[in-house]
Structure 1
């Protein structure tokens, strides 16, 4: 979320390096969905029980979980590109070996190697796309989310088509597609600088000492227990072939992608993170109960699984955002710690479900999965106040977001200032200078608020810029204004994910200091992205007690009211 932009470059006009990694992301996100349609065929062809086949999930996810603890340490030492390449090589090799195996044990083992490669790839792919993108930070995130949605939606469809030929098809398909991505990454992606400070090997485990991060991680563990129970065992009672299963999980994947990108942020902005998660986890509990009760009715299971995609999409987005809201550690460390805990739950669940199904009946694992969702609500309740306080900008701690951080002199005396909100964009200086003219005309001081964004995509979070860069941007504005004789103060607004929350934080700050006017620039994100993740301008305008002015450097400032905001909804931030 950036409060001031000029005309946005298209997120799809990118260098070849970005497209190479984005293509690999699509294939990686196909992941589990690609394999899910062939589970019954695997069991039949290799004379394996469902519980034995479920170990494909267990080995993959448990290794992914453990790998999450070390990927930051590895990447910070060998660099993002090399980490990416190593991950792609492992995926190609182990996916191909899984396709050649003639035993379920062999496939389970090769899936473990695949999980290691996927952890290395996913942990660095977003950072590489952001670093290589020419369309700005917002454009890079849009492209990554597009790859995410396409992979989740297309994976089951491709898996079903290839699986209808042979159960080996999806494994070889991944190997071939990732090999293409590997060559493109080696050729087109440039070497990227390593972090100034290498990540400590023990940092993720140390981060779990923080109550908020541990609470959200345990909640995610329980959520993943229910989720992967459904994903690993729902194909069996559907009694469908690989092609038909592919179509069912394609419908599921489309809902996951749509609700993750477009609807979760808007529900969060309207009701708050925790209330939406309560309702969402309860909905998943109901879905699991329906599957358990209707396990002998294939149509009931099919409908319930497809509908669950909406709840899963919402949960994937908001759970990660809750983690980033309460975590006091650096974003990559928080992501690694959280990923470790949540994937452990996802890995153990299919194995436990298989043993339960063998000992009792197929409905029992689903009932247990429903109970896990309910327990997740109870765990979340213990961290309710932490998340709500952070979301409202009331939590204490330097790294907790959202919050305002003063830069330079902070005293405004008895003056009612004009606030200008800008981001790390090419026209930020023009926006600030135009706001300075407004402040001069009103006889007021100017307060420059630089909005520093942390984007959240699935289990990953990435900063648009580091804190020092954001502070330096404010200092540069203040120095330039001082040269013009304009009295000004500065702040950095650290935000995470939800643009509407950041808008309300700024509105409350403006009310607290009795600002005369808040000036903002035009957003580069476009109407579709704004619909998906909420509008900074809309939230600010509706919550502000003072006038909000839209500054276009080429035009006269334009006052935003409830009426004019509707007209400006397309370009609003």
Structure 2
């Protein structure tokens, strides 16, 4: 008997590719400012703590806005939500590029975060609805877009940042404007059925023990993630291009393990076991980065190794959240992402303060301790998470697929 051929993940309608392209550009924005942090500090006469607030304002508003994006999109529709998010990113990226003070850039990055929340909270749900091959194909496409965006963002930031710290912001304006037109023209289909979501839904979702455990785990894990991403450009001591190339390697490593290695591991091990193995390894890598921070080559190696481990964690946490709850995908995504982004928001300025108060080693030790707290949270909450190990890794459901947006950064 002949087995029907599995549809190719890469043979998709034009509307899927339009949203996927916009996803790549949105994720580029995460690491785009990395190579220009020292240049912004110098050009705008800002302290490292003030400069790190570029991440904090962006991630804090993204996280808080996640709590209301499902309420908004359920009323105005996915396409309108995507377009508003893209338009806000274009406007606020342009304002960042034209700013004359670090305070202005910090404020406009907050507006950028609002647009980012509206976009990424809706993007995967849109891809799932239009992709050929079901939710599994959509997840692969989304992970590929995430990996490509995270890898290319620092490289583009380095290239454009060599000319001026304003260059990467202008680059985002152009690319997001193209993405806006692509979504506007190509995202077509039957009128979507809207089921209004209660405003309180994401807040009550966190009462679910499994989702609460995973959200707290992600909060502590994200502190380690963003100390590595946002603080490392300062002790590296490289120019914009050197920082860009370093984090391009980091992004490629993250993409490879998130798309290929993590699924392979999940076919062989329970999800919680993978988490409890990878998080201590990440803590060891962060400790090594702190102890070797004065050696640029060693620090680069630790950053790239960290990318490998972060890629595994992103995908495994995604899969764990998928199986953690029977809530609608937009609600679970909003609740989980809001808590997770708060960890990313607090990490960069705390790292800079610890650097100023002590030395460049201490921020990495702080990050390692946070990652170990994430592992402890999973260990203590294993009873609540027991059911996520009972489901095979290839039985993801469409209703849970959009929770992947919680691992966009």
* TM-score under structure 2 length normalisation: 0.93
> Deviation string for 1:169-211 (max 9, x for gaps)?
1111001000011112112212664444211111011011111
Q: 2:376 aligns with which of 375, 378, 398?
A: 378
| CA distance in structure 2 between the partners assigned to 1:246 and 1:64 by the alignment | 24
Q: Is the 8 A contact 1:325 1:390 kept in 2?
A: yes
Superposition deviation, residue 308 in structure 1: 0.2
Aligned to 1:125: 123
Q: 2:180 aligns with which of 174, 179, 182?
A: 182
| CA distance in structure 1 between the partners assigned to 2:307 and 2:21 by the alignment | 23
Greater mean deviation of Cα atoms: 68-77 or 148-157: 148-157
Tell me which protein shows more helix as a share of its residues. 2
Aligned to 2:303: 305
Greater mean deviation of Cα atoms: 190-199 or 64-73: 190-199
Q: Is the 8 A contact 1:76 1:195 kept in 2?
A: no
Aligned to 1:531: none
Superposition deviation, residue 121 in structure 1: 0.6
> Cα–Cα, structure 1 residues 8 and 267, in superposed 2: closer, same or farther, change >3 Å?
closer
> Cα–Cα, structure 1 residues 458 and 168, in superposed 2: closer, same or farther, change >3 Å?
farther
CA RMSD of aligned residues (A): 2.2
What secondary structure is seen at the aligned counterpart in 2 of 1:271?
coil
Aligned to 2:287: 289
Aligned to 1:469: none
Does 2:55 correspond to 1:57?
A: yes
> Residues 126-205 of structure 1 correspond to what in structure 2 (within 5 A)?
126-134=124-132, 136-190=134-188, 193-205=191-203
Aligned to 1:483: none
Aligned to 2:206: 208
Greater mean deviation of Cα atoms: 138-147 or 167-176: 138-147
Aligned to 1:459: 404
> Deviation string for 1:445-482 (max 9, x for gaps)?
xxxxx995566577338xxxxxxxxxxxxxxxxxxxxx
Q: Is the 8 A contact 1:316 1:458 kept in 2?
A: no
Superposition deviation, residue 41 in structure 1: 1.2
Q: Is the 8 A contact 1:95 1:171 kept in 2?
A: yes
Q: 1:238 aligns with which of 231, 236, 256?
A: 236
Q: 1:275 aligns with which of 270, 273, 276?
A: 273
Superposition deviation, residue 19 in structure 1: 2.2
| CA distance in structure 1 between the partners assigned to 2:125 and 2:293 by the alignment | 42
| CA distance in structure 1 between the partners assigned to 2:396 and 2:288 by the alignment | 45
| CA distance in structure 1 between the partners assigned to 2:325 and 2:396 by the alignment | 19
Q: 2:351 aligns with which of 339, 350, 353?
A: 353
> Cα–Cα, structure 1 residues 46 and 192, in superposed 2: closer, same or farther, change >3 Å?
farther
What secondary structure is seen at the aligned counterpart in 1 of 2:35?
helix
> Cα–Cα, structure 1 residues 228 and 359, in superposed 2: closer, same or farther, change >3 Å?
same
Aligned to 1:327: 325
| CA distance in structure 2 between the partners assigned to 1:205 and 1:451 by the alignment | 24
Aligned to 1:259: 257
Count matched residues.
405
Superposition deviation, residue 320 in structure 1: 2.2
Q: Is the 8 A contact 1:141 1:455 kept in 2?
A: no
> Deviation string for 1:311-361 (max 9, x for gaps)?
100111111222222224222211111001010111011122222222222
> Cα–Cα, structure 1 residues 223 and 230, in superposed 2: closer, same or farther, change >3 Å?
same
Q: 2:64 aligns with which of 63, 66, 79?
A: 66
> Residues 479-498 of structure 1 correspond to what in structure 2 (within 5 A)?
none
| CA distance in structure 2 between the partners assigned to 1:24 and 1:45 by the alignment | 30
Superposition deviation, residue 363 in structure 1: 1.9
| CA distance in structure 1 between the partners assigned to 2:52 and 2:328 by the alignment | 35
Aligned to 1:409: none
| CA distance in structure 2 between the partners assigned to 1:102 and 1:326 by the alignment | 46
| CA distance in structure 2 between the partners assigned to 1:270 and 1:155 by the alignment | 32
| CA distance in structure 1 between the partners assigned to 2:106 and 2:190 by the alignment | 34
Does 2:79 correspond to 1:97?
A: no
Q: Is the 8 A contact 1:17 1:188 kept in 2?
A: yes
> Cα–Cα, structure 1 residues 105 and 451, in superposed 2: closer, same or farther, change >3 Å?
closer
| CA distance in structure 1 between the partners assigned to 2:217 and 2:257 by the alignment | 20
Q: Is the 8 A contact 2:32 2:168 kept in 1?
A: yes
> Cα–Cα, structure 1 residues 5 and 37, in superposed 2: closer, same or farther, change >3 Å?
farther
Aligned to 1:112: 110
| CA distance in structure 1 between the partners assigned to 2:103 and 2:344 by the alignment | 19
Q: 2:334 aligns with which of 333, 336, 351?
A: 336
| CA distance in structure 2 between the partners assigned to 1:134 and 1:233 by the alignment | 40
| CA distance in structure 2 between the partners assigned to 1:304 and 1:378 by the alignment | 23
Does 2:246 correspond to 1:248?
A: yes
Q: Which has the larger radius of gyration?
A: 1
> Cα–Cα, structure 1 residues 192 and 295, in superposed 2: closer, same or farther, change >3 Å?
farther
- Name structure 2 gaps, 5 residues minimum: none
Q: 2:80 aligns with which of 70, 79, 82?
A: 82
